[in-house]
Structure 1
């Protein structure tokens, strides 16, 4: 887009929403229906009769009552629009003046040929992230990075909420209801915290956040894009900022520190390696959490602190709220213990670096379960490091298991066909004081090993 999205400009235009049962699509439909858009066509790959099931799968992290209520609203919304479900998916998509597509649409090339053709013809595409940034009158804090963006964005949200601020959350996290329907009622006194993935930046931005945060960058999603393009997408969150905005950057990564030379916004650095770069405020937080136990990684904690200092939250309040903030669902989350063994759900860790962060946090007396798709990442060094640092390593049959066979000695790790088998094997191998964690270190673990099957908790209950 060449200018920020305007509700008034497109209210009477032909609008198409793709993947409408998903977290992004349903949120966009809710906003546009609420704003009295006249000509909306929605598309979904699932047949209409399966729309409830599809909606609830894509909103899986929301409590059951909230999920049921959200579906009731969604069911009312789709009554008022044109529907292309199942075999009619993407029918007449090129008739749209603007297309709202989910961040994942490029991953499904076979199903989305008409969408790709529409994109190539220059039909206007817009993302959920653009809508948030273009329409929000509130102060927007947007967090991106390979690892930690979800944790940092939730920590910022928790501290602001605990400090009595009016704060909303949205973006990449599909485990929570989006805040998009509230966007037009926000004020300049409110805060909006966004978790932003690289895919949500592929349609480009016209307006940057008041505060952008870059947690780190590792080679990731190389099956989708080259490393330089991946970095460029992450950096684009900052290139659209103004000189009155702030970029909170992790100085421990040279590529990130160099970004400060290329942007208009004011760079604020944090570091776990060069402590003198931290402000006094951030260093107080660093020192406190190095002495005291926390659910969160120190790198995520000081990134959060750097943001809260800019928002004039006292250091005492920030420490208090971080101390009481719980782990995210499926992110280093302790889900069970029996007095001898602890179990952790870390399913959201989809890179080897996130899994290494888990090991750093939990220690080496750990039985680790991994598996999934490798996204073109070079696993050689990471797998060797992981295998060396854990008590036992179990890898599910997957692309990652094939990678492990190249780099790890036979017998240095165990193989399981299903998550149930892996958890049973880990329980058999565990001794008093052992921790067991499901931390895939690769992509699509939920889809391949949990979706439509038993959850980790259900399997543990029946062990």
Structure 2
């Protein structure tokens, strides 16, 4: 019996444990931190051996294969030992994909993954049996075990791609590449770029890569590397023969002379970046032969994603917007770009080596006050202190919202778009977004 050791007792770890057990592995799960009660119960009920608050080497280094949770970096001591012992380390999507013949749509990029994956799923489920997983919802491994849908839409992070071996999506989507998570890539942008392109590394000529043709980083990489799959670019500024582009106010998508045209006026999601996300999702749907009418209707009635430019409430003619999912500068760039009123901006958290320069034009033009919400706000104050009249700092969401309420006037927007990770003051970006919404509702 082969031994499967799992590092990390979260959603992907527990899902892999269940699938591994069902496929005849001897399974052991180990987490350096505390495993949540709901996951402990699942492990106990399924009689899967586990430990938390420690890593017992004797129970780990005898593995045939190790599934490492995407949150654990390679520089951790136990991971180094596993690798130096020649034990194969894989990600959950690699392990799980061995047990399904489903058609896989894999979506990655620095920003817009969740929106595009949710939208793609929303369109496809109108006509196909499809699961949504990866970085979102129930783990891929557990879905394969419980439902094994014929199709999956997977939101995939670079950390998950780092540990794939044979995994290949039939349709890969690469939305954009901007500096993010550089702390995990030795602060070398090229390492992060290569990581993102792993989504296409096992693709053949029968597969597809949908990508942003306006993204210089992507274009440069494609110029210098050979990819086997069929390329389907999308663009807001170029005319694209095979792929998607913007023609006046219409999205035009052509695949093998089959064209679909959609006016942007009726789209549910606003903002330039969302036109691109909608192009990518529609191209996937068009490839999978979803009816044109279904695609159009789905784009018009899509509800959007929680914590992503989510309109919370209007109070005294001030709009409060929750963009807690903006955990990097580029995501906040899109948020500020789409503001068309004077903005009180709540920003801050764990800085991942951020360069805020690209935000300067928007801050100068649109931001009237900045509220820094983090344990260490020194860099933000140093960067933006001279650009706005009001800059304050706090370590409590309730206080941040109260300050914003005092500063904002009728017609303004209060925007939570942190550009940073949330782990200094919050459990995760969802927790941060919910605290914001609660604080706004309590005003």
Q: TM-score, normalization: structure 1?
A: 0.83
Does 1:106 find its partner at 2:73?
yes
1:288 to partner: Cα distance:
4.3
Does 1:85 find its partner at 2:48?
no
**Mapping for residues 168-183 of structure 1, pairs under 5 Å:** 168-173=131-136, 176-183=137-144
Partner of 1:436 in structure 2?
414
Cα gap change, 1:229 to 1:117, in 2 (>3 Å): same
Coordinate RMSD, CA, aligned: 2.7
Unaligned runs of 5+ in 2: 253-260
Partner of 2:45 in structure 1?
76
2:12 paired residue among 16, 21, 24: 24
Question: Deviation digits for residues 43-64 of structure 1, max 9, x if unmatched?
Answer: 12235xx6317x5xxxxxxxxx
2:128 paired residue among 165, 174, 187: 165
**Mapping for residues 334-373 of structure 1, pairs under 5 Å:** 334-338=311-315, 340-373=317-350
Does 1:315 find its partner at 2:292?
yes
1:276 to partner: Cα distance:
4.3
Q: Using the TM superposition, name which of 308-317 and 163-172 deviates more.
A: 308-317
**Mapping for residues 24-423 of structure 1, pairs under 5 Å:** 24-37=12-25, 39-47=26-34, 51-52=36-37, 55=39, 72-77=41-46, 80-88=47-55, 92-106=59-73, 112-161=76-125, 163-173=126-136, 176-183=137-144, 190-225=150-185, 226-260=188-222, 262-277=226-241, 279=243, 284-285=250-251, 288-292=262-266, 294-296=268-270, 297-338=274-315, 340-383=317-360, 385-399=362-376, 401-406=378-383, 408-409=385-386, 412-418=389-395, 419-423=397-401
Question: Deviation digits for residues 59-79 of structure 1, max 9, x if unmatched?
Answer: xxxxxxxxxxxx7544413xx
Cα gap change, 1:91 to 1:343, in 2 (>3 Å): farther
Q: Using the TM superposition, name which of 334-343 and 368-377 deviates more.
A: 334-343
1:41 to partner: Cα distance:
1.1
Cα gap change, 1:406 to 1:360, in 2 (>3 Å): closer
1:409 to partner: Cα distance:
1.1
Distance 1:387 1:18 in 2: 46
Contact (CA 8 Å) 1:136, 1:184: kept in 2 or not?
no
Distance 1:52 1:92 in 2: 23
SS of the residue corresponding to residue 431 of structure 1 reads coil
Unaligned runs of 5+ in 1: 1-11, 56-70
SS of the residue corresponding to residue 264 of structure 1 reads coil
Q: TM-score, normalization: structure 2?
A: 0.86
Question: Deviation digits for residues 293-344 of structure 1, max 9, x if unmatched?
Answer: 5235111111112211111113321121121111111111122233622222
Distance 1:391 1:290 in 2: 31
Cα gap change, 1:114 to 1:446, in 2 (>3 Å): closer
More helix by share: 1
Distance 2:14 2:5 in 1: 12
